[in-house]
Structure 1
């Protein structure tokens, strides 16, 4: 099989393709409709009355002129930024450590790291709330409900995904490159930083973007660990006000910001990974072509 034939892929049968497209439309149509009504000319969130940007800016009830909306948006971005930085650093370090563990300790460590991923988010949120509220020993006693607890909860939930992503990258790379650097005279730290970490950078960037996406649209953990109105995030505000009779399409605008930000984070993660690994893909294609020619 040639390289060109590999890239062509496999054509789906027409019924299966129709089913896939129908499923995608079914998922996207409600979201697109909700986003479209953020540009409605009237207060209605169900009947289209013409195009207008008044719910985004320019009126006291618009998204960027309403204090409650902007506070929720600001808090969500702050949580996402802190969670992304902490989860990425911890996840990278944990992935490096776990891949070097040998013996009987490897399986228990892997199991513990997977607990936040496989545990239902509601159970994790309740457990964190009870731990931070009723356990009075360190470190639980120093974390208060509100922004600190929300960051701790979101990091606990997202760090496992970062570990999985980076461990997958380490498994693809293998330990040959780091060993080669050691054979050429590099010390342990130099081999780790100058060789392995640079090659892990695509996975680190993807892990960061995925952490950001998970954080900014997280509701359950953020809700349980909030303290007052100053720690209300966008998902929390949407949940509280979505069914209110006095809400305006500015709420749709807030939801649009959440959707677009999440999609941009995921798209950026994909683009960064492709950009960072493009040379490896080219090298792989060249190697494969040479091997086939031989």
Structure 2
């Protein structure tokens, strides 16, 4: 009998918790961490690496992915959809810069209700979507100065190169723009995507520099597989293997209860993703285009987010 795909994830969680080195980190909470991990998932037949031992809110992860592809760097479009993933960072900046004592809930409410407030305080800097769709370039002028050139849409370039030159080794989407890291609310964790075509199948290798196994990785695996499926559909390829590679792979010390509960559960089922239509471009997908079948997860497990 074949081993359930999710055991890779659970084995990783157990290994990090039992073997990881305890380290302090920028959040002050502390982690147990291992370095250098690889997971592999075959996406053939609509299969997706969707965690079943707790409920993963895959629509939230998909909405975040579509937000990346829109190029937006403001949390307001997410707030209006009820997506809370990025709220803590601008809230922390607001408290730090204004000194106003305002709860996260009240801050998010103002972001949704007041567009001008969102423009001022909802920005995250040049995070994922900016780098993916509008990587900045500069050109040298005759007067010896530099000026901003046309931004590079890396996602569109990958679609083009997959169609025109599938054998290329340059199908890459990169988020780690060294020149702009200090302007980002959070530098990219899932930073480098490389695509590879073999036997009519589209494979993806994702390198993630920093990975929160408990809260982040289930979302990261889902989103990476979604993007791979979308690219495969747009380029008339079959989905192949997703290879996930983690650098600093960690669990926060205050996630012990989550780890204990999740490791007591057994994975079950084989959820599938259907893409209900093929939009005109990779940038035209909507949340209703994604339908998950045969997903019967166990109850969610709550744990605090480290900011």
TM-score (norm 1): 0.23
Bigger radius of gyration: 1
Higher strand share: 2
